């Protein structure tokens, strides 16, 4: 199982931002800082690894093939 989901990473990033806000509202600044830091690292990784030149691809298969990539014939207008 070597496949990866870029979409799931994007979803987790949104969840971390939401939990940062909750932690801030409840006065847990330490936890808010942790979530903010983790969200920042995840965002950088998604930008470095998930960007396909024109858009973010959705995932990779165990073989490493990208799904939803500009390299795929399916879904690319031409």
- Mean predicted lDDT score pLDDT of the chain: 91
pTM for the model: 0.83
Q: What is the pLDDT of residues 13-64, one digit of tens each?
A: 999 999 999 999 999 999 999 999 999 999 999 999 999 888 899 999 999 8
Distance separating alpha carbons of residues 62 and 5, to the nearest angstrom = 11
**Nearest partner of 35 among 48, 52, 23, 47, judged by Cα:** 23
* Helix or strand holding residue 29 (H, E): helix 29-50
Which band of pLDDT confidence, cut at 50, 70 and 90, is reported for residue 1?
A: low
Find out whether 55 and 77 touch, Cβ atoms under 8 Å.
no
Give the strand pairing for 66-67 and 4-5.
unpaired
Find out whether 19 and 35 touch, Cβ atoms under 8 Å.
yes
Question: Where do the domains of the chain lie?
Answer: 4-67
């Amino acid at each position: 199982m070597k496949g990866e989901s870029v979409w799931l990473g994007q979803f987790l990033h949104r969840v971390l931002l939401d939990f940062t806000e909750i932690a801030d509202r409840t006065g847990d600044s330490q936890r808010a800082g942790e979530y903010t830091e983790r969200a920042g690292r995840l965002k950088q990784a998604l930008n470095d690894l998930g960007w396909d030149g024109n858009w973010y691809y959705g995932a990779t298969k165990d073989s490493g093939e990208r799904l939803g990539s500009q390299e795929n014939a399916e879904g690319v207008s031409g």
